[in-house]
Structure 1
Amino acid sequence: MNIGRTTLSATLSLALVACGGGGNNNPGPIAGGPTPAPPPTANCSLSAQQDFADDVLDQWYLFPNLLDNTVNKANFSDLQSYLDARVAPARAQNRDRGFTFATSIAEENALINSGSSAGFGIRLIYDINNNRVFIAEAYENAPGFAAGMDRGTELVAIGTDASNLTTVSSLMASGGPQAVIDALGPSDPGVTRVIRFAQVGGAVVEQSIAKADFSLDPVSDRYGALVLNDGGKKVGYLNLRTFIVGTSDRQLVDAFQEFSNEGVTEFIIDFRYNGGGLVRIADLMGDLMRGPNTGQIFSKTIFNDQQSGRNSTELFESTTQFLNAQTGALGPDQAIPSVNPIKIAFIGRGGTASASELVINSMLPYVDPANIALIGRNTSGKPVGQFGFDLDECDLRIRAVTFRTVNADDEGEYFSGLAGVMPNTCIANDDIFTQFGDPSEASIAQALSFLRGQTCNPISGGAGQTAQGVGGRELLQPRRPNAAQHEIPGLF
């Protein structure tokens, strides 16, 4: 059995893979401490998997008093339903909104080690009022982008071939978002769909597109890291798609090296769809924005009373260990650049969670309250994280909520989203018809306005508010997400 903080799980008898609250932590192994024992017999029956889950939850769950210990495992036909029942009291108190789940070791490790996933390589968002589905972003080396899909493209009709195309509006009307998800088919290489779609420019295209394996690029080569010219002032723009890909460490360092070279001190950090991932990458982002704070506290990680010996403090550091995608291991320490952020505008929405929120919360003590803001909508509200517990012979990883994070001021109770704790918030739309990195895009324009010192209308709304813009848009997410969709909501 392996253990991990929604980080990366190492292929050792004991490894910590950390995610969430931040997201994933070190992909390297962390040995020591009591660990749940595997079932007495090595089998993959549902009963054995439930026993394994019980061992994990009983020893590691962050909220032991919010577990339902009366649940009868014989009443369940699948492991996820059983996990949902065990943590139902925590969910009722808004402490675990689907954060504890079962997934595939192989699929998640492939995602962490190299960004590998399978599908069209698009993230979908739907209009909750008008039965329309749009592409929020498209990954450059995936089939959807190659077929002509990009941010703002509308899906018009879907079929297994040209003779049975069904309009998206009728799918939404009859079965809601799940009907569209079902029509798109499973996320397996070779699955082919004929899709009619309307590009932003107005052209309507009908193509047969096959799903394929692709590597998800966390920092887009098109718009991921830019230096914007705002009336002669340099503003660093970073769009980080996810924290789950371990190799994003090199991309982030390259981006911040450029920001440092350009002398940038004002930043727009775009986390609007970033659902989190590895805590290790969140820590690295802090290191890259450390300014004069090397050696100061970035964040603290806190476990339940049984595991309190694992409590730790993360400091701003001037070195990091880079992930080797071939081995899944971390290399030796290497020096990294730093910027000194005087002003930061974080763009977030309901899909902004976990590691994204950890970074924002951890930077609060180090930026003048007048100079830091949340732009867009309220965030998800996930100040907790998961370890991954592996039952290798069953390709089973249980992601269980095991820790919470706080900043240097011991603040971290943002279960209702970050809008309630940020000193400044500015409501802004998500203009899906304008590309990321464009200063005219609604959220980026509002971020630039804040950085200029202009006033704005504050954000209101509860935790996990997912309305994405005019008319209300939400990321399309299946009832049972796969490994990639857990970390990158809306991915197909």
Structure 2
Amino acid sequence: MLTQIQKLLLLISLLLFLNSCGSQSKLDSGASLPTNNPNSPINDTPTGEFTSDEKDFLYNLFITEYYWAEYTPQPFDTSPYLEPQNMIDALKYSPLDRWSFVFSTDNYNSFNRQSAFGFGCYTSYDVNNNLIVSYMDIASPAEKAGIKRGDIINTINGEVATEELFYSIQDERGKVGIFGITRAGESITVAVAAQYYSYKVSKGDIIQTINGEDVGYLRLDSFTDTATDELEPIFTKFKQLDIKKLVIDLRYNGGGSLNTASILLDKLVRDKDNQVQFTTIWNSSYSFNNESALFETDANSLDLEQVVFLVTSNSASASELVINSLSASYLGVDVVLIGSTTHGKPVGMSGAIYGDNVYYIINFAVANGDGFSNYFNGLPVNCPVEDDFTHGLGDVNESMLKEALHYIDNGSC
């Protein structure tokens, strides 16, 4: 686990993949940005005047600790820029940097507390142009009200369901959405009130393959600080049952805290103490920040033979770090990927605060114990399978999980 420098080292991906139902300092704790959330930083516009001092602060980040600092234009006229993100977009190394961004400290605090506003369910259109529920936060108002993944939303408060209508209702505090839903051919009505809520990011279960083998299933939606508390009882149960094969569902996990990723890796490997999990690699001028996270066996660390990851293009950053780290040759773990190629973000950022804004610019690359870090095109899968919105996450009949269980039984797709 990370034991030395506790700073805000994030592996975040700005993935808007689902639509939702001046002083300088370094942040000193990890965080997660669940970008499927309505409060996603990609939608967050910092408020207040973008002063010349703040512009100088931002430019200094790019010419000093930015991972691709050598490509930062010098000199650079900051005067035309009225918004921080516009200046970031002008400065970043566009051939590779798809991620550097700014958002508010208020939203940082919300993400760190695993809190949000709205219904907590997210939608997309299916091939028939139906508005369907694609995903829900664990313990969200939508989940508690009985909405399920795969529900077709036909009407909202008596009107034809559209994304725009969905947004307008869920953005208004206390507003009740009455959803006319089709589920498995039956029509039902569910009411949900837009509200502030706290959510969980993990669920664990024991499932069986067709051949009757017990397998652990872990759904992990984000690498928040508090996810580590959620993981403890899950892995204690897995340890008690001597689970040897584990399915980890990261299909919607866009990243988060390096520290949380390191702690998860400690749960997945035992008896490899002081061997390298991963190494952060900064630019040559900031190489004194390079640091390796080391394995540390916990009381509930597992002795796994095989780990199967369920992934999509929304699986990014810290999710990819865990997969890449576990794939190091000296660990001897059979790592299998089911789904579609991951996002491709082998880099992370150290958040810097100026006033009410938090600046996340790319600071470092991340390599596994074999030194591999070049997966900008994503990590390829062993078995390509499309996401299945007609079944809940963790349902053994859901296409990706079903394929994972088949692979565990048969050793092939």
SS in 2 for 1:451: helix
Q: Structure 1 counterpart of 2:84, which letter? A: L
**Who is 2:103 aligned against?**
103
The residue matched to 2:397 in structure 1 has which SS? coil
Return 5+ residue gaps in structure 2 as ranges.
1-5, 13-22, 36-47
Equivalent residue, structure 2, for 1:462? none
Letter in 1 for 2:278: S
Which of residues 397, 401, 404 in structure 1 aligns to 2:365?
Answer: 404
Corresponding residue number in structure 2 for 1:445: 402
* Structure 2 counterpart SS, 1:350: coil
SS of equivalent to 1:256: helix
The whole-number CA distance in structure 1 between the counterparts of 2:74 and 2:133 is: 42
Percentage of identical aligned residues: 27
How far 1:199 sits from its partner (Å)?
Answer: 4.1
Q: Distance in 1 between matches of 2:65 and 2:29?
A: 13
Which residue identity lines up with residue 389 of structure 2 in the other structure?
Answer: I
Higher mean C-alpha deviation, range 47-56 or range 65-74: 65-74
1:446-465 aligned at under 5 Å gives the runs: 446-456=403-413
After superposition, residues 58-137 of structure 1 pair within 5 angstroms as 58-69=63-74, 72-87=77-92, 90-91=93-94, 93=95, 95-97=96-98, 99-112=99-112, 114-127=113-126, 129-137=127-135
Within-5 A mapping of 1:278-317: 278-317=257-296
Report if aligned partners of 1:192, 1:208 keep a CA contact under 8 Å in 2. Answer: no
Aligned counterparts of 1:132 and 1:83: Cα–Cα separation in 2: 37
What is residue 136 of structure 2 aligned with on the other side? Answer: 138
Unmatched runs of 5 consecutive residues or more in structure 1: 24-42, 169-179, 319-334, 457-492
CA shift in 2, pair 1:440/1:187, >3 Å: closer
Contact 1:110/1:116 (<8 A) preserved: yes
Measure, in 1, the Cα distance between the counterparts of 2:394 and 2:8: 34
Match of 1:416 in 2: 377
Pick closer, same or farther for the CA change 1:118–1:68 going to 2, 3 Å: farther
Closer/same/farther in 2, CA of residues 189 and 46 from structure 1, 3 Å limit: farther
Q: CA deviation at 1:204?
A: 3.8
Deviation at 1:368, TM superposition (A): 4.2
Task: Give runs of aligned pairs for residues 314-325 of structure 1, distance below 5 A.
Answer: 314-318=293-297
Q: Assess, with a 3 A threshold, how the Cα gap between structure 1 residues 368 and 110 changes in structure 2: closer, same or farther.
A: same
Corresponding pairs, count: 382
Question: How far is 1:137 from its partner?
Answer: 2.1
Contact 1:19 1:387 in 2 (8 A): no
Checking the alignment, whether the CA contact within 8 Å between 1:62 and 1:304 is kept in structure 2 is: yes
1:375 and 2:338 equivalent? yes
Between the aligned partners of 1:138 and 1:367, the Cα distance in structure 2 is 34
| Conserved 8 A contact 2:169-2:177 | no
- C-alpha contact 1:349 1:380 (8 A) present in aligned 2: yes
> 2: distance between equivalents of 1:359 and 1:109?
24
Partner residue, 1:156? 154
Q: Do the aligned residues in 2 keep the contact of 1:299 with 1:314 (CA within 8 Å)?
A: yes
Q: C-alpha root-mean-square deviation of aligned residues, in Å? A: 2.8
Task: Give the Cα–Cα distance (whole angstroms) in 2 for the partners of residues 101 and 3 of structure 1.
Answer: 18
| Distance change in 2, residues 1:410/1:295 (3 Å) | same
- Deviation string, structure 1 residues 7-50 (Cα, Å, up to 9, x no partner): 89xx9954445579xx9xxxxxxxxxxxxxxxxxxx84343432
Alpha-carbon distance in structure 1 between the residues aligned to 2:76 and 2:129: 38
Q: Which moved more, 1:424-433 or 1:371-380?
A: 424-433
